[in-house]
């Protein structure tokens, strides 16, 4: 593909999303791999860094991310049936 090389504007560099993902802490990468929503490495890194600065442990941060994801999914009318099914399955698992 040809670019317009006659411009004097600086070319905008885009970050490599896989490099950003690989730079995340291992627990956070594992959480992102199983997350229901498509989280960006940048947003997860922001949440992680802010929580670590507040003194939260990695497990606390992952719990916080789970809560944020559940809250976001609860606002999506299409995912309510999926959430209800997951809640039902969790209850059944606790009974056995």
Pairwise CA distance, residues 27 & 15, whole Å: 22
> Over 60: is that where the pLDDT of 82 sits?
no
CB 81 within 8 A of CB 73: no
CB 47 within 8 A of CB 32: no
Helix axes 58-74, 26-34, angle to 10 degrees: 20
Q: What is the pLDDT of residue 93?
A: 66
Model confidence band, residue 14 (pLDDT cutoffs 50, 70, 90): confident
pTM metric for this prediction: 0.65
Pairwise CA distance, residues 91 & 71, whole Å: 19
pLDDT tens-digit readout, 22-81: 999 999 999 999 999 999 999 999 999 999 999 999 999 999 999 999 888 888 766 655
């Amino acid at each position: 593909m040809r670019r317009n090389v006659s411009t004097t504007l600086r070319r905008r560099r885009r970050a490599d999303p896989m490099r950003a993902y690989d730079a995340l802490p291992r627990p956070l990468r594992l959480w992102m791999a199983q997350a229901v929503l498509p989280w960006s490495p940048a947003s997860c890194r922001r949440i992680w860094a802010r929580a670590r600065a507040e003194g939260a442990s990695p497990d606390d941060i992952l719990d916080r991310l789970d809560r944020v994801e559940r809250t976001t999914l609860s606002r999506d009318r299409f995912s309510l049936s999926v959430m209800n099914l997951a809640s039902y399955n969790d209850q059944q698992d606790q009974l056995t």
